[in-house]
Amino acid sequence: MNHYDCKYYLNIDVFKGICKRDKGNINADDAACENFEKAQKCKHCSNFSLTANDLGVCMSKYDAYPEMNAVTCNDFK
């Protein structure tokens, strides 16, 4: 898994961010460290199912995509 998938990854821009824990600069697509924890994203939600590359459906009716942050979604489970 990459930093981009980690709960502690904080975006600066589309390429990079910082680690919320140690405040270090990190590239989004570099491999994550041992403290990695899964970010709350659609791809980890039971309401989400993948239908194509980078596309899926949410609750069987809404278009969605796996990498979307779901930290603010009340239906995430």
Given the rule CB under 8 A, which residues bind other proteins?
A: 8, 10-15, 18, 20-21, 23, 28-29, 52-55, 62-69, 71-73
CB 77, min distance to other proteins, A:
16
- Bridge partners of 76, per DSSP, are none
What does the DSSP 8-state code read for residue 32? P
Smaller CB distance to other proteins: residue 46 or 63?
Answer: 63
Residue 42 backbone dihedrals phi, psi, to 5 degrees:
-55, -35
Alpha-carbon span 20 to 74, nearest angstrom:
23
CB 46, min distance to other proteins, A:
19
Tokens of 65: 């995509």
Smaller CB distance to other proteins: residue 13 or 46?
Answer: 13
